[in-house]
Amino acid sequence: MALPILAGAAGASALAAYANAKFHIAHDLKNARGGLAPSKEVVDFITDRVVRKRVLTYHVFEDHALRNQPNHPFLIFEGKTWTYREFFDCIIRVGNWLMNDMGVEVGEVVAIDGGNSPEYLMLWFALDAIGATTSFVNWNLTGPGLVHCAKLCGSRYLITDTDVKYNVEPCRAEFEDLGVKIHYYDPSFIASLLDNTPIPKSRQENISLESVRGLIYTSGTTGLPKAVAMSTGRELLVGHSTAQYLELKPTSIMFTCMPMYHGAAHGLCATPCIHAGATIALGRKFSHKTFWPEVAASKANILQYVGELCRYLLNGPANPYERKHNVQMAWGNGMRPDVWEPFRERFNIPVINELYAATDGLGASFNRNAGPFTAHTIGLRGLLWNWRFNNEEVRVKMDVDTEDIMRDAKGFAIRCGVNEPGQVLHRLTPETLPSVPGYFNNDDATEKRRIYDVFEKGDMWFKSGDMMRQDCDGRVFFVDRLGDTFRWKSENVSTNEVADMVGKYPQIAETNVYGVSVPGYDGRAGAASIVMTDGVTEATFNFQELATHARAVLPGYAVPLFLRVTPALEYTGTLKIQKGRLKREGVNPDLVTGEDKIYWLPPTSDRYLPFERKDWEGIKSKSVRLT
């Protein structure tokens, strides 16, 4: 009887394997609702932290530094290594300076402004240790955008790396008017701090999960950057759960050169590594010349990316270290289909672990890809996921011109079918509202992310602002961003904010900013359709002064690279500016309709120049670069 039993067992095993492959059962069980939904293990972890009054990232760091593994490497930076204990001692000294010399109080918001460095991390974790809230300012900002961030968060200080002094000093008068004190730091200043008195536990013991732990800004454009309030509970949850999902261990070494002021390096590299007791290999910034040598020297086995970085590397010259490394997994977001397999093959990285998430969003998705089936996707939705969450996360059809949700005859949203792109919405309830990300001191912006009466009267949903589609196999694909934001050079650019700044130029009457696809580049390049003021013609318009103005008031990645000169903007019947046709036509000479003239701003030019067919062909052949 043994043989029939074994045969039956083998048949059952084969059937189970088939069901798992077809319906992605194991994937759904592991990842639940986006992989970061609190499982029982996570709930138990957070409950234990609350009971012991140790809810901070600093507390997790302290466990490693004083108990678990004090001599294990925490940080590798430009050839130097700090153990957990060595770095912890630095945090304590910085914390005492912040408390005793700067007078920082528990719960006070303190803005820090600087690039990637050990000192930046010391300031972050020292502020965490003393119970303050860190405002992570985008160091690229200057002028109105930088001043706005300080005003928005209400910080008394702007603690700034001397390396970005050139962005801060032009704003000194405005900061003084606001009562904001600028304090510069560098390695020698941090090294001069000597007070190693333990941080009083009273600074931390009354901090709740609901308290604001940090402010991360969603847009680097000047005008009105918004700050996402990261709660203590969310930072604890994301750090712990991401470490669990990636199966990080103390032997893990993750390399990142993504800016620490951004949610990607902050919440998907730094805090997960700390939760796992792993090692961070930190690059000061991205550079073709130093990238692979730093990765190889650090012996990193995980590499953090954004899609644009991957394309830069793929388009860059060969490097002797690009295959002589220990990287087994690339982890990040935004890997484009035309880059995916060439990146894996050229740089010999077996696993591409692509995710979709947003600092100010809900619902993450994950795709640990090692083969062709899930290549180019941001996640999988299997039988169990669809059964459990099909009415919690939905895709709805959109009007591409107005960017409004399309509604049926009864006034309700229309769900997308298989392979139909639509905006992703997440159901909100009174119970889930407290955990939904919001914008700090900006209730209007928080409310604009919500939409009501979607499928029935009184229901409430969260707008992701992103278009996705799902195929018949459950694979989820990212399609595009919606609304007033597009992505360029790894940064989100707000079209409204750019239009506000460009529109201040006196020879412009109206402007409509949007992103255009350009061959060979990820994201979208900025374009502005402009109407000149009365009496101004193309012959009398000062394209040099406009370029100077745009570069003065906007970060480099937000400056429109293209202009479309038009006699009048297009509006809908409800007076909304139409962008659909402009985005579809882009700057392709074969698609641009009407008599509009296209201009562009080459990287080395001091003015906008006529954009001709030879320029378009040069971009396509990669003989002409935009950046």
Domain chopping of the chain, boundaries: 1-31, 32-285, 381-481, 485-621
Residue 599: per-residue pLDDT: 98
Q: What is the mean pLDDT of residues 65-79?
A: 97
Question: Is the pLDDT score of 115 beyond 80?
Answer: yes
Q: 235, 285 in Cβ contact below 8 A?
A: no
Helix/strand/coil percent split, the chain, to 5:
35, 25, 40
**pLDDT per residue as tens digits for the range 423-475:** 999 999 988 888 888 999 999 989 999 999 999 999 999 999 998 999 999 99
Q: 296, 173 in Cβ contact below 8 A?
A: no
Question: 9 or 534, which is more confident?
Answer: 534
The strand ranges marked E within 209-322 are: 212-217, 227-231, 253-256, 279-282, 302-306
Sheet bearing 508-516, strands edge to edge = 508-516, 525-532, 562-565, 597-600, 609-610
> What's the chain's average pLDDT?
90
Q: How confident is the model at residue 353 (pLDDT cuts 50, 70, 90)?
A: very high
Q: For residues 151 and 154, what is the distance between their CA atoms, to the nearest angstrom? A: 5
Residue 260: per-residue pLDDT: 95
Question: 489 or 183, which is more confident?
Answer: 183
Which listed CATH number (1.10.3720.10, 3.40.50.1110, 3.30.300.30, 1.10.10.10) goes with 485-621? 3.30.300.30
Q: What is the mean pLDDT of residues 41-65?
A: 95
Q: Is 262 exposed, middle or buried (0-12, 13-18, 19+ CB in 10 A)?
A: buried
Q: What is the mean pLDDT of residues 538-553?
A: 96
Residue 500: per-residue pLDDT: 81
Question: Is the pLDDT score of 7 beyond 60?
Answer: no
**pLDDT per residue as tens digits for the range 304-324:** 998 878 888 987 889 999 999
Question: Is the pLDDT score of 266 beyond 90?
Answer: yes
Question: Is the pLDDT score of 81 beyond 50?
Answer: yes
Residue 499: per-residue pLDDT: 87
Q: In three state form, how does the secondary structure of 101-123 look?
A: HCCCCCCCEEEEECCCCHHHHHH
Lowest-pLDDT choice from 19-23, 93-97, 144-148, 289-293: 19-23
Lowest-pLDDT choice from 54-63, 185-194, 480-489, 564-573: 480-489
DSSP H or E run through 368: strand 365-369
Question: 587 or 8, which is more confident?
Answer: 587
Q: For residues 237 and 44, what is the distance between their CA atoms, to the nearest angstrom? A: 11
Q: How confident is the model at residue 41 (pLDDT cuts 50, 70, 90)?
A: confident
Q: How confident is the model at residue 42 (pLDDT cuts 50, 70, 90)?
A: confident
Q: What is the mean pLDDT of residues 82-91?
A: 98
The strand ranges marked E within 429-474 are: 450-452, 460-470
- For the domain 32-285, what is the CATH superfamily, name and number? ANL, N-terminal domain (3.40.50.12780)
Q: How confident is the model at residue 38 (pLDDT cuts 50, 70, 90)?
A: low
Q: How many CA atoms lie within 13 A of 530 on its CB side?
A: 33
Q: Which of 114, 126, 137, 244 is nearest to 185 (CA)?
A: 114
Q: What is the pTM of this model?
A: 0.81
Residue 308: per-residue pLDDT: 77
**pLDDT per residue as tens digits for the range 590-626:** 999 988 999 999 989 999 999 999 999 999 998 988 8
Residue 98 CA from chain centroid, whole number: 29
Residue 576: per-residue pLDDT: 64
Fold agreement (32-285, 485-621)? no
Tokens of 221: 């454009």
Residue 522: per-residue pLDDT: 86
Q: For residues 142 and 122, what is the distance between their CA atoms, to the nearest angstrom? A: 24
**pLDDT per residue as tens digits for the range 498-515:** 888 898 899 998 899 999
**pLDDT per residue as tens digits for the range 334-343:** 888 878 999 9
Report angle CA 213, 214, 218 to the nearest 5 degrees: 145
Top CATH class of 381-481 equals mainly beta
